Amino acid sequence: MYVLKLFLRVVFVFFISSHTVFAQNYELKCVAEKALKEKKLLLISVVSENCYFCKKMDKDVFSNKRVIKKIHKQYERIAIIAGVESIPNFLHVEAYPTNFLIDPKTFNIIDEYVGYIGAKDFLELLDMVYKLEMSHKNVEND
């Protein structure tokens, strides 16, 4: 009886965890499709709950009105809390915060930024990457 209960628990945990990964992959796919339709890039921010610089970046950068406007115009953003939510396999995170700029069609990482970045520098990076990426796409379509 003990073995049967243990087996059922393992199956239940596997089902729940695989369902969670599926749900997150589904969400990522939906956000990517929206980004493609709106000619935007993906911005995936991976943070940790206990990370001082993650909280600082959230307060100083992601709450900045100019940054919010820029992201809304050029990107679809997903924030992932490491340890709480699973991180997609194609993202290799070594420190927090890490921000990935991603092509929504191919899921190729265009660029990644590890650590705290101030609002002014982050705005410049977002704008530069977006303009370069869109100019490449326009050249490919011609």
- Which tens digit of pLDDT belongs to each residue from 104-125? 999 999 999 999 999 999 999 9
Q: Which two tokens stand for residue 100?
A: 């990935």
More confident residue, 105 or 11: 105
Residue with tokens 């000619």: 39
| Residue type for position 21 | V
Per-residue pLDDT at 23: 36
CATH number belonging to the domain at 2-141, selected among 3.40.30.10, 3.30.460.10, 3.40.50.720, 2.40.50.140: 3.40.30.10
Rounded Cα distance between 113 and 34, Å, is 23
CB atoms within 10 A of CB 132: 12
Percentage of residues in the chain having pLDDT higher than 70: 78
CA 13 to chain centre: 25
Q: Which residues pair with 47 in a beta bridge?
A: 81
- Which tens digit of pLDDT belongs to each residue from 30-67? 999 999 999 999 999 999 999 999 999 999 999 999 99
More confident residue, 24 or 33: 33
CA-closest candidate to residue 76, choices 104, 107, 50: 104
Residue ranges of the domains in the chain? 2-141
Q: What angle do helix axes 119-141 and 65-74 make, rounded to 10 degrees?
A: 10
Q: How confident is the model at residue 136 (pLDDT cuts 50, 70, 90)?
A: confident
